[in-house]
Amino acid sequence: MAAAVTSCGPGRPGPATAPAPSAPTAASAAAAPASAVPATGGPTSERSLPGDPDWEITDPGPDDAVEGFADRVSVLPGESFGLHVSTPAAAFTISAYRMGWYGGARARLVWRREHVPGGRQAAPQVDPETRTVLTGWQRTLAVDTAGWPEGAYLLRLDAEDGSGRRYVPLTVRSASTAGRTVVMSAPATWQAYNEWGGHSLYNGPTGGLATRSLTVVFDRPYDYDHGAGLFLVYEAPLIALAERLGLPLAYTTGIDVAREPGLLAGASAVLSLGHDEYWSPEQRAHVVAARDAGTNLAVLGANCCYRRVRFEPTGLGPDRAVVCYKDAWARDPGYRAGAPATTDFRAGPDPDPESSMLGVRYDGYPVDAPYVVTEPGHWAFEGTGVAAGASFPHLVGVEYDRVDAGFPTPRPIEVIAHSPVVCDGRRSHADTAYYTVPSGAGVFATGTMRWVEALDAHGPGGGRADHGIDAQAGDLVRRVTENVLRAFAAGPAAHTHPAQDNLTTVYGTA
């Protein structure tokens, strides 16, 4: 990592190898009529509908068989968005799957359009100044979301010649979050790692930081997990669990939270999922304001709110570019014009460590270590049957957080799991921590990036990313997550679960 004040290794790779850019030509804008799927009532009636187990892509085909992106990261129900698709096939089908929990199925088909004329789009270009990959693709068709329930969606593109399939992620967001638990997706982080076209915020064609992008845009497909970004590993398992519990949920993205100061007003809780590294100062300020008004915050991952970014428009609309110069912050024209430096939040100029909001701070990469329980009587472990010292192999990784009193740390704070790790020869700990504030809000942070994906752990080979996490660890994570979600959905958690500070006991620190 650049400016790696906490990195243990030589630098973090993207989640997957970027595909070679295709060489498309212009696509047709014509489309056949859509196949309507009945709209639903409230959240309860939505969950009672039958799901579609065949939503998952198992045969993606060649990288350029079919691929695309939406010109909106999120829309309100009933709003339209554009799809920009490139395929050599004569036609393709679009299927909109709402992701959740439908009697065990993870998705429901909400909308489908068949026989959309295909065509290759133009080859991508790279901006010489920022090394941003630019597609310039034309809109293939507009999609109207009338009747689509709020939620997290994967649009599946199927080339009708059978040559390939790809996803396009989309959030149908909630206009109000009052009284609900907010699922806050992290598309800025997905885009930071996206190497479609040969560049991400980490790598360029040389495989190193020297040729990485300084700005990345949503105007291109995702190159990993068949176009789904980081959604299927770091978010979908949690959404399935939360919907199975029947909690009142609202859906949004970090970009929407940054744009709308009052979006979180009255929310019961906000959930940061899995890998949620890239935040703007506006997003952080609005989440902190919600916490200070009594909204609980659950950080179900690690390395949250580490990189400070700025959102800018592209030709397709506002907030389509993620700007993050990192160690090259002094070159950033936006910074020179008065915007905050797009560095790590804890780095200068104007450092603002993430620990003041999270209670924990990012401590390093890469690790693979057991998760060790130290406070088995804590309410989050209720019903798990764990004892002090209970250990769950491989649950800590690949990045981790810890409590560090040398950084701004809210008090009272409880460390309930204190897991020894060795990161590139340096000994440390990964901490699961819980603190409360005067507003009544509780903040829970797992301290490990593998938390959400462990919800799907059923032993060897289980889950989308198998790290050797066994079924016992999966059971622990599911029960703890259920306890936290239920407590946080009930209102300000400090009223029923005030934090009992134990930092001196754990770390020997006053």
For the chain, the structural domain boundaries read 34-267, 355-507
Residues 6+ apart with CB under 8 A from 151: 46, 98, 99, 100, 171, 172, 239, 251
Where are the alpha helices (H) located in 352-470, listed in sequence order?
A: 355-358, 451-454
Give CA–CA dist 346/303, Å, rounded.
Answer: 12
CB 308 within 8 A of CB 345: yes
Give CA–CA dist 392/87, Å, rounded.
Answer: 45
Position 458 confidence tier, pLDDT thresholds 50, 70, 90: confident
Residues 6+ apart with CB under 8 A from 54: none
If you average pLDDT over every residue of the chain, what do you get?
91
In the prediction, which pLDDT does 467 show?
85
CB 278 within 8 A of CB 187: no
**Using alpha carbons only, what angle is made at residue 372 by residues 300 and 406, rounded to the nearest 5 degrees?**
70
Give CA–CA dist 34/111, Å, rounded.
Answer: 7
In the prediction, which pLDDT does 89 show?
98
Residues 6+ apart with CB under 8 A from 124: 21, 133, 134, 135, 136, 197, 220
Q: H or E segment at 286?
A: helix 281-291
Segment 227-239 shows an average pLDDT of: 97
Alpha carbon distance, N-terminus to C-terminus of the chain: 32
Give CA–CA dist 287/296, Å, rounded.
Answer: 10
- CB neighbours (10 Å) of residue 59? 9
Give CA–CA dist 277/326, Å, rounded.
Answer: 13
Give CA–CA dist 124/122, Å, rounded.
Answer: 6
Give CA–CA dist 250/270, Å, rounded.
Answer: 9
**What Å distances lie between residue 442 and 293, 299, 485, CA to CA?**
11, 11, 11
* Domain 34-267, CATH class in plain words: mainly beta
| Encoded amino acid at 390, one letter | A
Position 210 confidence tier, pLDDT thresholds 50, 70, 90: confident
Could you report the per-residue pLDDT of 36-81, keeping only the tens digit for each? Answer: 444 334 556 898 999 999 999 999 999 899 999 999 999 999 999 9
| Encoded amino acid at 398, one letter | V
Give CA–CA dist 64/86, Å, rounded.
Answer: 8
Residue 251 has pLDDT above 90, yes or no: yes
Q: H or E segment at 78?
A: none
CB 197 within 8 A of CB 133: yes
Residue 174 has pLDDT above 60, yes or no: yes
**What Å distances lie between residue 356 and 253, 285, 298, 377, 404, CA to CA?**
22, 12, 14, 26, 11
Residue 23 has pLDDT above 90, yes or no: no
Instruction: Look up tokens 């290759």; give the residue.
Output: 120
- CB neighbours (10 Å) of residue 112? 16
Three-state SS for 164-184 is CEEEEEEEECCCCCCCCEEEE
Give CA–CA dist 277/293, Å, rounded.
Answer: 24
Q: H or E segment at 319?
A: strand 317-323
Q: H or E segment at 415?
A: strand 413-423
In the prediction, which pLDDT does 18 show?
33
> Beta strand 296-302 with 442-445: parallel, antiparallel or unpaired?
parallel
Could you report the per-residue pLDDT of 145-167, keeping only the tens digit for each? Answer: 999 999 999 999 999 999 999 99
